[in-house]
C-alpha cells in the first residue's frame, strides 16, 4: 500500500475555558484570519476555528490548560516587517530570532501563551 501526505489541513492549539472571544480578537482582528463555523457535533466542546488560505487553526478548550511553549506552528509571511509592526502596534510582544539561515523570522505568543513563529524566506 502506498500513500501520499498531501498537505496540513489544520493546526490545533489549546486555550483555557471561556477564552473564545480572546481567540477571535487575536486571530481575526489582529492576524486577519476568518472564523469558520465548527460542525454542530463539535460546538459543545467550545473553542473556535479560523482559516487563512487552505489551512485552518483550531483553538480547542483544554482544562486544565497549559500553553505550548516549544511546539509551535510556523507561518510563512509576505512582508514580515509589516506584520511585525502591526503586532507591535497591537501590544503583541515580538521575540526576534536570526538562527535560521536564509530566513527572517520572529516569534510571538497568542493571548494564551502558545508560541507562534512567523518567517519570510530571503
In a domain, 4, yes or no: no
| Residue 28 lies inside a defined structural domain of this protein | yes
Compute the CA torsion angle 36, 57, 9, 105 (nearest 10 deg): 140
Output the nine-digit C-alpha cell for 35: 472564523
Specify the pTM: 0.94
In contact, 77 and 120? CB cutoff 8 Å: yes
Residue 78 belongs to a domain:
yes
Distance CA 27, CA 83 (A): 13
27-58 pLDDT, tens digit per residue, is 999 999 999 999 999 999 999 999 998 899 99
H helices of the chain, in order, are 20-24, 40-43, 80-89
| pLDDT tens-digit readout, 78-104 | 999 999 999 999 999 999 999 999 999
Task: Answer whether 58's CB lies under 8 Å from 45's CB.
Answer: no
Domains held by the chain: number: 1
- Say whether pLDDT at 5 is over 90: no
Q: Which domain holds residue 78?
A: 10-121
Q: What is the CATH number of the domain that holds 54?
A: 3.10.180.10
Q: Within a domain: residue 1?
A: no
Residue-wise over 26-40: b if at least 16 C-beta within 10 A, else e? bbeebbebeeeeeee
Q: What is the chain's Cα-based Rg?
A: 15
The reply to whether 51 falls in a domain is yes
Amino acid at each position: 500500500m502506498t500513500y501520499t501526505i498531501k498537505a496540513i489541513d489544520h493546526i490545533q492549539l489549546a486555550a483555557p475555558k471561556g477564552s473564545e472571544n480572546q481567540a477571535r480578537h487575536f486571530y481575526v482582528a489582529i492576524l486577519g484570519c476568518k472564523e469558520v463555523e465548527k460542525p454542530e457535533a463539535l460546538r459543545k466542546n467550545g473553542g473556535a476555528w479560523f482559516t487563512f488560505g487552505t489551512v485552518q487553526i483550531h483553538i480547542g478548550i483544554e482544562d486544565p490548560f497549559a500553553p505550548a511553549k516549544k511546539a509551535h506552528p510556523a507561518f510563512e509571511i509576505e512582508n514580515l516587517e509589516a506584520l511585525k509592526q502591526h503586532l507591535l502596534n497591537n501590544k503583541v510582544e515580538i521575540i526576534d530570532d536570526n538562527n535560521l539561515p536564509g530566513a527572517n523570522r520572529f516569534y510571538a505568543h497568542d493571548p494564551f501563551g502558545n508560541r507562534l513563529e512567523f518567517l519570510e524566506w530571503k
